[in-house]
Structure 1
Amino acid sequence: MSTSIATETQQQQQKQQDSNPTLKLRGHDNLNAQGQEEYRYSHLLPVFTADTYPPLTPFEHVDPGARALSHSDPRAFLGNATSVVEITPNLGTEVRGVNLRDLDSEGRDQLALEVARRGLMVFRDQQDFIDAGPDFYLQWGRHFGRLHIHPTSGHPQNYPELHLVYRDANSTFNFERSDSITSTSWHSDVSYERQPPGLTTFFLLSSPSTGGDTLFTSQVSTLKKLSPQFIAFLKTLKAVHSGVEQADFSRSGRRGATVRREPVEHIHPLVRKHPVTGEEALYVNRQFTKRIVGLKREESNTLLNFLYDHIDKSGDLQARLKWAPYTVALWDNRVTAHSAIVDYGESKERRHGARITPQAERPVPALDGLSLDD
């Protein structure tokens, strides 16, 4: 599909707002010379080009969090914070008073380590960061790894490395289904890649007045809840993660009908070890994990469904992020899973987010010597 999708989407939104002036985007609209509202982040609306890309090639990832281990104070980047609050005991920290845009290389290393340890960090009042623009986003993300180009999602014009989520009154360009009784879909981003993401940065450019929260869960904690004997068994297993369903979803005409890179499947351990913290985490998700290698279909389905159910129901291990203007969230995809909450559809408001997604290492098995071959 052509880049005209972005223009059509913008025109639809303008008509909607003209007809209903109560639908304001919280703090994110300006007036043009004619006194009309124009969307402040229209340059970051999703486009779907005909560009295609070759398969991803392996690369050596050097985790910046590892460098912070040798710092005399690995949490020095929080020194000027006015508030540092743990969202839950085992997952998530909310910070005020730290300007992410001002962090130097050492501060970014420390940030990577803290995100790895806490799983999720939420920084409020980050207008400087969000308004810095897409060139800054790329420079920021490259500090943490090779930037991933999503095979099917929309991106801003000329910036394919920026993954966008987008939903408004007229359309959705998200990987979501309307034939389910719930919008909750736990996943770790693009886990089907050979080298899935590590530290991820995400923020909303426009959000509904209420709803549209994001759920997170600690996969370190979900693993620890299981019995030692069962964990020992899980460590011997590996599973196939597949991007085929996501590609087929787009090929069916939804989400921009674009597939830029042919879908892949890769084998990852069911339990992985974080290369910096050494923590072990459950590494399966309902969205992309398809089968356990070496088990018969019924055995694989039974075990995976048990683990998915465990993840779904572990409310005591989860954190809920309520978005506010100029909030930036960072999480470690190696030790967390997350789900958007699509509960704002009746309001017909826009939810527009951008994700900066650096890839990390190939998942390290928690069991030494476990081969990731078929």
Structure 2
Amino acid sequence: MSPIEVQELASGVTAVSLKENVLRVQPLQRNHFLDTLYKYSKVQPHIGTEFEKGIQIRDILNSPDSEKLLLDLAVLIAERNVVFLRDQDVTFQEQKQFVDRLGRAAGKPATSGLHTHPITDQSSEFGEKAFVISSELNKKFESAYGSGGTYGTKSELHAWQWHSDVTFEPIPSDYAALKIREAPAEGGDTLWASAYEVYDRLSPAFQKFLEGLTATHVGEGFLNLQRAGIATINPGPRGAPEDVGTNLTAVHPVIRTNPVTGWKGVFANKIFTKRINELSKDESDFVLEHLFQLATLNHDLHVRFRWNKNDVAVWDNRSSFHAATADFDAEVYTRLGERAASLGERPYFDANSKSRREALGIAPPVARRAHLAALAAAVTGSKSEEQK
């Protein structure tokens, strides 16, 4: 039984109809074969894992036990949102193969391949399946739209850059990998945030409220580039049969179940998510802003990565958000890399899935605050507001 029903709107946008009761897909389990070969550690409690030097993507791809290793990695990335691998001697062809095989190890549909970005330069040396991360390209876009906002909307709040990759596609990305070939001597870090933990920061009543809602995602910035004559939208298919057309618009559940972990996460991001469909505009704006603030203002659900040349980050777009830090002088330094993105399944919500904290037996944030308040009261002999 499928966890979603799909219907076509008159506009041609694919909508998601959520079911109350669905057959739960069992989460995947690590076989821990990876642990016998490589060492790694958590960067932050909720998000981020970094491998010690010695691991090479090429070795994993060529190993006779590659399927076991890729399954372990796929689950680890889904659980920890993002993993970091330093000093990788890997070609872009191998990088593409790596993310595609991660998705296949995790059970993505056979029709989902590698994403072709809607404004990819097909004459690039890396081919149409690459999205080049380039400070030089950013300057080109800023010359047309101005800097500091979503392609021309002036803002000093760089939190507008938080996003999950290509959520404007009906079939968005599951795994993505970025290799930085040239890093500035200072700055240019990337941050990731856990969508699992954002969900866990919501009250139970608000969680239930959101679980019945859908949101519209639009690649508005890329459409603006086409309108300005800077780029042309590739009509597709862009890596999956469903990812076609030039309106770059899709409808997804606000709360999404990651099929690898079986955990719930907030699936709404600052760049692409434009409105919650079942609410009025004012209500939608209010709710989305609250979700965005939970994701961007809680630094304890973030991890920040300082890039060196040839470092690779691999993340799960289903359950995380990320944003680059444009704090370096682009006239002095260059930041250059290539991202490959695998396409996964159509996003869905499974009513039987769990939150990350529930699945791992971790106390909810509110309960933990009450526990800390009780400890403080025991020390000071006074009662906190939460105890009164």
Instruction: Check whether TM > 0.5.
Output: yes
Which stretch has the larger CA shift, 355-364 or 133-142? 133-142
Amino acid at match of 1:297: K
| 3-state SS in 2 of match to 1:143 | helix
| 3-state SS in 2 of match to 1:116 | helix
| 3-state SS in 1 of match to 2:70 | helix
Amino acid at match of 2:92: P
Residue 232 of structure 2 corresponds to which residue in structure 1?
258
Check 1:345–1:234 CA distance in 2 against 1; reply closer, same or farther (3 A cut).
same
Check 1:233–1:67 CA distance in 2 against 1; reply closer, same or farther (3 A cut).
closer
Residue 106 of structure 1 corresponds to which residue in structure 2?
68
The Cα offsets for residues 143-190 of structure 1, whole Å up to 9 and x where unpaired, read as 134100000144633610011111139934689843321333110000
Matches within 5 A, 1:58-97: 69=29, 74-81=31-38, 83-96=39-52, 97=54
Structure 2 Cα separation of the partners of residues 343 and 265 of structure 1: 31
1:195 to 154, 171, 174: 171
Residue 204 of structure 1 corresponds to which residue in structure 2?
180
Structure 2 Cα separation of the partners of residues 327 and 336 of structure 1: 20
1:311 and 2:295 matched: yes
The offset of 1:232, in angstroms, is 0.6
Q: Is the 8 A contact 1:125 1:325 kept in 2?
A: yes
The offset of 1:266, in angstroms, is 1.2
TM-score (norm 2): 0.71
| 3-state SS in 1 of match to 2:173 | coil
Q: Is the 8 A contact 2:13 2:251 kept in 1?
A: no
1:345 and 2:329 matched: yes
Matches within 5 A, 1:1-374: 69=29, 74-81=31-38, 83-96=39-52, 97-103=54-60, 104-126=66-88, 128-129=89-90, 133-145=91-103, 146-154=113-121, 156-157=124-125, 159-168=127-136, 171-172=139-140, 177-178=147-148, 179-184=154-159, 185-254=161-230, 257-261=231-235, 262-345=246-329, 348-367=332-351
The Cα offsets for residues 311-351 of structure 1, whole Å up to 9 and x where unpaired, read as 12111110101111221101100110000110113552111
The offset of 1:79, in angstroms, is 2.5
The offset of 1:140, in angstroms, is 2.4
The Cα offsets for residues 24-69 of structure 1, whole Å up to 9 and x where unpaired, read as xxxxxxxxxxxxxxxxxxxxxxxxxxxxxxx999xxxxxxxx8963
Structure 2 Cα separation of the partners of residues 342 and 99 of structure 1: 29
Q: Is the 8 A contact 2:73 2:102 kept in 1?
A: no
The offset of 1:122, in angstroms, is 0.4
The offset of 1:77, in angstroms, is 1.9
Structure 1 Cα separation of the partners of residues 340 and 146 of structure 2: 20
Structure 2 Cα separation of the partners of residues 108 and 176 of structure 1: 42
Structure 2 Cα separation of the partners of residues 268 and 88 of structure 1: 29
Amino acid at match of 2:70: R
Structure 2 Cα separation of the partners of residues 227 and 202 of structure 1: 34
Structure 2 gaps of 5+ residues are 1-11, 15-25, 61-65, 104-112, 149-153, 236-245, 353-388
Q: Is the 8 A contact 1:68 1:113 kept in 2?
A: yes
Q: Is the 8 A contact 2:175 2:317 kept in 1?
A: yes
Structure 1 Cα separation of the partners of residues 85 and 126 of structure 2: 27
Q: Is the 8 A contact 1:168 1:348 kept in 2?
A: no
Structure 1 Cα separation of the partners of residues 279 and 147 of structure 2: 29
Check 1:186–1:94 CA distance in 2 against 1; reply closer, same or farther (3 A cut).
same
Structure 1 gaps of 5+ residues are 1-54, 58-65, 369-374
Amino acid at match of 1:135: Q
Structure 2 Cα separation of the partners of residues 95 and 158 of structure 1: 27
Q: Is the 8 A contact 2:194 2:295 kept in 1?
A: no
Q: Is the 8 A contact 2:92 2:338 kept in 1?
A: no
Q: 4+ residue stretches of structure 1 with deviation over 4 A?
A: 172-176
Over aligned residue pairs, what C-alpha RMSD do you find? 2.7
Amino acid at match of 1:95: F
The offset of 1:75, in angstroms, is 2.7
Structure 2 Cα separation of the partners of residues 152 and 123 of structure 1: 28
Count of aligned pairs between the two proteins: 298
Q: Is the 8 A contact 1:188 1:285 kept in 2?
A: yes
